[in-house]
A and B are shown apart, each in its own frame.
Chain A
Amino acid sequence: MNYILHLLIMIGIYLPLAYSLNLILGYGGLISFCHAAFYGIGAYTYAILVTSKIINPSAALFAAIFVTTVVSLIIGRIALRFRGDLFLFVTLGFQMIIFVIFYNWIGLTNGPYGLAGISRPGCFGIYLKTPIQYFILILIIDIILIPMIFILYRSSFGLTLKALRENEIAAESLGIEPVRIYYQSFVISAAIAAIPGAFYASYLTYIDPTSFTLNESIFQAAILLLGGTGNKSGPFVGVIIMILLPEALRFVGLPDSLAHHIREIIYGLLLALLMYFRPQGIAGEYRIAT
């Protein structure tokens, strides 16, 4: 039971991550490889503030959003001078820089040893100890957060982003300012990523830099590329498959010594096959071109 709840909580954490990344990657059509960095900044800001007992958990959550927003304002300014493959590489570079900071700024992040003892938020005097309580908390967060993202998807802002994705020069000729709109979507997508980051930290009560690597960013982009982009169902399908598929492979009954490697091979193969047969993703409506 606890195992299932754990998976549900992880799905609950990844849904807003995927939906927020979808704003820039699916709607804007720019593949960003630094979403895990923003997720990590959210997690670390929360963890540092809570473990040092400077402020209470709810204030720390807002601080996490704030710090992530500020960092994304700086990164976005630079990265959005580029488009397509170049944008991908610039965001990849920032992802690596931020990972190096997590890993080496020992005074602040405790480096590779990570931060332990991150307290969970309490609400109305109830301290969220059990997985079921934490699951309910994540559920509530998702119920608030995801519809707010959906409002952006179907708004004038979302439509404008799609137009930029489809043809930036034509969009410009209709009076749309590309950088202004891209910048907004980049920064909100980062700010939203800070929220699951903070909840991830408080759920595990321990974080270290290995959760926020380039691999993690690629994993998050893969969720969208696999599930489909530019709509509501694609990220959902992607999250479910990417979180549950490795778990399902645990039950395949492989010999212990090889199990891990074979699982990775099957996992990779399945992803490659899916992309071959459905390049627009399982539930996607359009294909990302780089």
Chain B
Amino acid sequence: MNNILVLNSINKRFGDIKVLMDINASITKGTITAFIGPNGAGKTTLFHTIAGTIKPDSGTVIYNGNKISGLSPSAVARLGIGRQFQDVRLFGNLTVLENIIVGMISHKNRDFWRVYFHSRQIKNEINENKKNAMKWIDYVGLADFKSTFAHDLSFGQQRLLSMARLFAKGYNFLLLDEPTAGLSMSMVNKIMDLIQDVVRKKNMSVALIEHNISVVSELASHIYFLNEGKVAFSGKANDILSNRSVREMYMGL
């Protein structure tokens, strides 16, 4: 199987509350997989577990054949897993351009002594990154705002910037937590196009949390339906979305 990410019986409890119970899932390379379900079903906790911000009580996360559960969030990110947050989490007092290039600096070039002893190398890297960053800023349509502070952007623009920050970093796998929440229809379409585009062109794989069913049906090829910390249903998108129990439990139809 061509799985980029595999979850093996993940369990997590906060105090007495079981948030994740025996979650098994796998995500195929180059596809978009959606995690849907009611609020409190454990979707975001599951993303936290994959990204390393929460350690599972038991179970393993396998990425590209290697166990990544137990690694720090920054180590997970350096393996190529990118994360978008529900509440965007930009660097408000940095410009649009800085928001993107700060993520692109290679790990070793962040150490202070290299600033003195490898200044040329760092300079080249940053110039290279700037060019790349500009490409992505253009791509999401923020070229006119490259010197604007991120906190001065509108919410929709902030979402686009957070997308550009992810895309520019060159991840192989993206965790997107409600990328279209609170956006206008035209912005939703724009973001969907961006996601489909990178998946197709860069062969990225995406895991997606989304409440907007039309977005899910448009983007996802596979769906996991979570309810009360368990995988209630999983399978091909069309099958799940037409499943009667799913429609009753989730969409109230």
Interface 9-mer from B73-81, B184-192, B200-208, B224-232: B73-81
* Shortest CB distance B93–A (Å): 4
Pair B53/A163 contact, Cβ less than 8 Å? no
The distance in angstroms between the C-alpha atoms of A174 and B174, with both chains bound, is 12
Query: Are B74's CB and A175's CB within 8 A?
Result: yes
Asked if A159 meets B112 with Cβ closer than 8 Å, knowing A170-B85, A174-B169, the reply is no
User: Which A8-48 residues sit within 8 Å CB-CB of chain B?
Assistant: none
- A247 within 8 Å of B by Cβ? no
Confirm or deny: A201 has a beta carbon within 8 angstroms of a beta carbon on chain B. no
Residue of A nearest to B101 (CB): A159
B74–A172 CB distance below 8 A: yes
Pick the contact of B74: A165, A177, A188 (CB < 8 A).
Answer: A177
CB-defined contacts of A178 to chain B, threshold 8 Å: 74
**How many Å lie between the Cα of A67 and that of B3 in the bound state?**
53
CB <8 Å contact, A152 and B102: no
User: Is A146 part of the binding interface, using a Cβ–Cβ cutoff of 8 Å?
Assistant: no
**Pick from A151, A159, A172, A188: contact of B102, CB under 8 Å:** A159
* B241 adjacent to chain A (CB < 8 Å): no
Whether B94 lies near A174 (C-beta < 8 A) is no
Cβ contact within 8 Å between A155 and B122: yes
**A185 in contact with B112 (CB, 8 Å):** yes
Contact between A167 and B89, CB atoms less than 8 A apart? yes
A157 touches B102 (CB 8 A): no
Residue of A nearest to B93 (CB): A286
Does A269 touch B at the CB level, under 8 Å? no
A63-104 CB mask vs B (1 if < 8 Å, else 0) is 000000000000000000000000000000000000000000
- A285 adjacent to chain B (CB < 8 Å): yes
Over the window 271-290 of chain A, the binary record of Cβ atoms lying under 8 Å from chain B Cβ atoms (1 yes, 0 no) is 00000000000000110000
Contact with A along B92-133 (1 / 0, CB 8 A): 111000100111010101111011100100100110000000
A173 within 8 A of B: yes
User: A162-B91, A170-B85, A285-B93 given as contacts; is B74 within 8 A of A176 (CB)?
Assistant: yes
Cβ-defined partner of B165 (8 Å) among A162, A174, A184: A174
Most buried by A among B77, B85, B122, B169: B77
Quote the shortest CB–CB distance from B79 to chain A (angstroms): 9
Interface check B51, CB cutoff 8 A: yes
Query: B77–A173 contact, CB under 8 A?
Result: yes
**How far is it, in angstroms, between the C-alpha of A167 and the C-alpha of B89 when the chains are bound?**
7
Q: Are B111 and A184 in contact (CB under 8 A)?
A: yes
B52 closest partner in A (C-beta): A172
Cβ-based interface call for A156 (8 A): yes
CB-CB < 8 A to A166: which residues of B? 90-94
B77 A174 Cβ-Cβ under 8 A: yes
Instruction: Indicate whether A58 reaches chain B with its CB closer than 8 angstroms.
Output: no
Number of chain B residues whose Cβ lies closer than 8 Å to a Cβ of chain A? 35
A165 to B110, CA, bound (A): 15
B189 to chain A, nearest CB (A): 26
Closest Cβ–Cβ distance, residue A151 to chain B (whole Å): 6
A156 in contact with B126 given A167-B91, A172-B77, A174-B77 (CB within 8 Å): yes
Is B39 an interface residue when CB atoms closer than 8 A count as contact? no
Q: Contact at B115–A151, with CB atoms within 8 Å?
A: yes
Chain A residues near B165 (CB-CB < 8 A):
174
Cα of A189 to Cα of B79 in the assembled complex, Å: 31
Q: Please state if A167 and B90 are interface contacts (CB–CB under 8 Å).
A: yes
From B51, B83, B91, B116, name the one whose CB has the most chain A CB atoms within 10 angstroms. Answer: B91
B179 at the interface (CB under 8 A from A): no
Given the known interface contacts A155-B122, A157-B110, the answer about A162 and B102 at a Cβ–Cβ threshold of 8 Å is: yes
Assess whether A169 is interfacial by the CB under 8 Å rule: yes
Query: Which residues on the A side are within 8 Å of B119 (C-beta)?
Result: 151, 155
Q: How far is the CA of A25 from the CA of B74 in the complex (A)?
A: 23
| Residues of B near any A CB (own CB < 8 A) | 51, 53, 72-74, 77-78, 82-83, 85, 89-94, 98, 101-103, 105, 107, 109-112, 114-116, 119, 122, 125-126, 165, 169
A-B contacts, 19 of them at CB < 8 A, read: A151-B115, A152-B115, A156-B109, A156-B114, A159-B94, A163-B94, A166-B91, A166-B92, A169-B73, A170-B85, A172-B72, A172-B74, A173-B51, A174-B77, A174-B102, A174-B103, A181-B110, A188-B112, A285-B93
Q: Which residues of A contact B (CB under 8 A)?
A: 148, 151-152, 155-157, 159-160, 162-163, 165-167, 169-178, 180-181, 184-185, 188, 230, 285-286
A-B interface, 8 closest residue pairs, ranked by CB to CB distance from nearest: A166-B91, A170-B89, A174-B103, A175-B77, A155-B115, A173-B83, A286-B93, A175-B78
